[in-house]
Structure 1
Amino acid sequence: MARTRPESRQRGRIEQRGNSLRVVLYAGTDPVTNRRSYLRETINGTDDAAWRRAENKLTEFRAHVIKQRSTASSVKLSYAIDEWLRTADIEQSTRDGYMGYIDRVIKPILGNTSVSKIGARDLENLYSQLRRCRKRCDGKPFIEKHKADSEHDCVVSKCEPHKCKPMAASTVRQIHSIISGVLDAAVRWEWISSNPAKIAKRPKQKAPEPDPPSPADAARLVEAAFEMSEDWGTLVWLVMTTGMRRAEVTGLRWSRVDLEAEVLEIRRTYVQSKGKGKEKDTKTHQMRRIALDSETVALLRAHKEHCREELAKVDVRLTDDMFVFMSARKADASVPYSPDAISRRYKKMAERLNPPIKTHIHALRHFSATELLTAGVDLRTVAGRLGHGGGGATTLRVYAAWVAASDRKAAELLGSRMPRIDRADTRR
């Protein structure tokens, strides 16, 4: 006859089912679904040893329930993601980037999994699969079918053998960051007791490899920019001499440029999302002031006068609230130069040079930093001009090679200023 050791609902029970035992413990009501939640475990065997193991498991369940601040939720990860996106304070441009990862990767793979059932091993397996092939194939050869836009039928002429394309480590780290943020929220909302992403091993971050243009190439770039137009040349020059980010130079207004004091302030940036532009805080949410050299001041004076003349042609007066680099599409200077347009124009200009320079405009920021470090400017000053946080920690991590070269130069300089020692005297 089957034996059962009944207990109260809070204390649980052990049931004999055939040749095994089942341990059941009521764990409360799910805070999201309002359904009763149970912890269950099957123990093989029905002898006394099996009963002792079952009793130990029941004790373990009780300790687990007591330790939990609330009942583990069976809510799906997709629901948790939607709630996190609804309540999180995330910049729109960042949110748009997150949505791409969420819609293409996270929800299709883990969306239907309960947050309480996601473990560190599950996440590490996912990251490993993505690093091997972004489509998570099983390694067996197959024909990859391309679908037509309307009929969704296979386009035979485009079908070809699948080739694994690993996902970049930086992309997988971004996916990990999103999942970790969602599970952190689930912990705060008491849907789960801990965040498995905190202990899951993610791909290693690749060391920064800045590739600034050489001084000779920088000169070629500036010359080509001024040949295109004075305005464009001034923009390229300013980025090169100040190390400003693309969004910072587009969001710069004349009210933040003090030509008399030869300094400019960076307080806001201008970004685009889905074709719409808007102003926002700087990347580090901090204001900074950058000193300008006399040549840069002269160029900005000439640029400001040119802007005043161009606006006068359409009966508009230049004001300090206008953008320094205005869009050609808006004669009243109410809209700045598009950040994406700057990148496209710079890339085309660099590729037209002979020989061509394959570089992004962000490389000019690297040029500014590395030239200052090579010249012996201290790390904190360079970090301040670049707008790096952490008192120079970011600058040191990104430009470690140039910091080492600057340190070598400092050592040689110090050695040259030390008094000479007569080695013959030291032997006496």
Structure 2
Amino acid sequence: MIVYAGRDPVTGKRMYLRESVRGTDKNARKRAERALNKLLSQIDGQRSAPSSATLSYALGEWLRTNEIEQSTRETYEGYISRVIRPALGETAVNKITARTLEKFYSDLRRCRARCDGKPFIERHAKDGDHDCVAAKCKPHVCKPMAASTVRQIHFILSGTLDAAERWDWISTNPARVVRKPKQKPPEPDPPTPDEAARLSETAFRLDEDWGTLVWLAMTTGMRRGELVALRFSRLDLENGVIDLRRNWVGGQEKDTKTHQNRRIALDTETIVLLTEHKRRVQERTEALGIEFTDDLFVFTGAKSPDHSHPYPPDALSSRYTNMAKRLGIRTHLHALRHYSATELLTAGVDLPTVSGRLGHGGGGATTLRVYAAWVAASDRKAAEILGSRMPKRRDK
């Protein structure tokens, strides 16, 4: 039987619900009546008819109406165009089930190309005849997609289906009950104190400005974008504080990652280094015939000697990585943030203070999750210190 269910809220097409009842016996009529009542009840219980809009359309609408950072939007658009739309784009959004999503994630974890398991040659030239040797075509080798990437794809699909549910295109969001890949536990790998000392000494030998930048990253745990966006107006060298409010992402100055302002206290040595750095920049701008202002960026690359533009983030990371490689140290710039955190925790600094300096959200929950091992070590050290200060027991 077929029951009219109204018009599709997206496409405007007439919608129908269908139910089959088989049999010619005397009970068939009763079964048909029950099926009809079920369909009518289903229609009455819905505020509007379920939509037959495709997932591709829903993804587009979700992106259009969702307020997200431009860099995040570009990342999502990449996953949607390369991974989601080719696989599920033409599927009606009301046909997406938890099983559909779990199989999709499983396929990606097996092979990011979602091949059928049969051997084939990956053709690098898509159109027309070509020479496979010249085009360097090779046999396909399955490469599983990282669990973290699949989790991001799940977030996109879950957000889209949440919106579809709010818009009454579907009755429930199937992504809510989907089993997604487990999140890999954080594994911070900071440089050792000896490696940190070598990195700092080398940076200062290369360039005083560069050495100051590396030193500041070590002592404050600031993110790369925060270091890049730092202006002299945010340095209170008299009171030894950085008023951190901005971040540099995607070529733009924005709020900090967690959208919170924080003040980071500076030690005496760091204050001296930043004071000397400011003097150098003042002398540099005067030599160029430019007036020094506190609005200038603290750190900049070779292409901006007047400090009117920030240090390019990618160039900053590359320079640090190359310096570390020459020293035979396997590390990266973000590991200095880990170094700052782990050194503070190892020294017995309390978790809320470390979390505040790092700008973590969640009241210390993020810090605890990422640096659990160092927090445990700090707790053990605190226990030993307290135990050593307890009154000694007298022997009976």
1:169 match: 147
- SS state of the match for residue 416, structure 1? helix
Q: Give 1:159 deviation, angstroms.
A: 2.4
Please, what TM-score do these two structures have when normalized by structure 1? 0.89
In structure 2, the CA distance between the partners of 1:50 and 1:169, relative to structure 1 (3 Å rule), is farther
Q: Give 1:44 deviation, angstroms.
A: 3.6
Match for residue 358 of structure 2 among 376, 380, 386: 386
1:310 match: 284
- SS state of the match for residue 48, structure 1? coil
- SS state of the match for residue 350, structure 1? helix
1:411 match: 383
2:335 match: 363
* More off after superposition, 57-66 vs 165-174: 57-66
Distance 1:48 1:218 in 2: 86
Conserved? CA contact 1:240–1:364, under 8 Å = yes
Q: Give 1:50 deviation, angstroms.
A: 4.2
In structure 2, the CA distance between the partners of 1:310 and 1:38, relative to structure 1 (3 Å rule), is same
Conserved? CA contact 2:111–2:143, under 8 Å = yes
1:156 match: 133
Unaligned runs of 5+ in 2: none
Distance 2:29 2:145 in 1: 49
Paired AA for residue 339 in structure 1: P
In structure 2, the CA distance between the partners of 1:187 and 1:305, relative to structure 1 (3 Å rule), is same
In structure 2, the CA distance between the partners of 1:299 and 1:45, relative to structure 1 (3 Å rule), is same
Match for residue 341 of structure 1 among 304, 315, 319: 315
Q: Give 1:418 deviation, angstroms.
A: 0.9
Conserved? CA contact 2:284–2:306, under 8 Å = no
In structure 2, the CA distance between the partners of 1:140 and 1:249, relative to structure 1 (3 Å rule), is same
Paired AA for residue 419 in structure 1: P
Distance 1:68 1:247 in 2: 48
Q: Give 1:234 deviation, angstroms.
A: 0.6
Distance 2:245 2:131 in 1: 52
CA deviation vs aligned residue, 1:2-27 (integer Å, no higher than 9, x gap): xxxxxxxxxxxxxxxxxxxxx32221
Please, what TM-score do these two structures have when normalized by structure 2? 0.96
Q: Give 1:43 deviation, angstroms.
A: 3.3
- SS state of the match for residue 206, structure 1? coil
Paired AA for residue 138 in structure 2: E
1:254 aligns with 2:204: no
In structure 2, the CA distance between the partners of 1:336 and 1:240, relative to structure 1 (3 Å rule), is same
1:300 aligns with 2:274: yes
Distance 1:352 1:167 in 2: 32
CA deviation vs aligned residue, 1:328-384 (integer Å, no higher than 9, x gap): 22343221001111111111111111xx11211000000000000011000000000
1:91 aligns with 2:69: yes
Q: Give 1:249 deviation, angstroms.
A: 0.5
CA RMSD between the two structures: 1.5
Larger Rg: 1
Distance 1:29 1:245 in 2: 51
2:92 match: 114
1:230 match: 208
Q: How many residues align?
A: 395
Conserved? CA contact 1:145–1:154, under 8 Å = no
1:197 match: 175
1:320 aligns with 2:294: yes
* More off after superposition, 91-100 vs 43-52: 43-52
In structure 2, the CA distance between the partners of 1:151 and 1:246, relative to structure 1 (3 Å rule), is farther
Conserved? CA contact 2:43–2:49, under 8 Å = yes
1:178 match: 156
Paired AA for residue 3 in structure 2: L
2:117 match: 139
Distance 2:102 2:33 in 1: 33
Match for residue 374 of structure 1 among 346, 350, 372: 346
Q: Give 1:200 deviation, angstroms.
A: 1.1
* More off after superposition, 257-266 vs 107-116: 107-116
Q: Give 1:72 deviation, angstroms.
A: 0.7
1:241 aligns with 2:219: yes
Distance 2:323 2:392 in 1: 53
Paired AA for residue 378 in structure 1: D
2:249 match: 271
Distance 1:406 1:318 in 2: 44
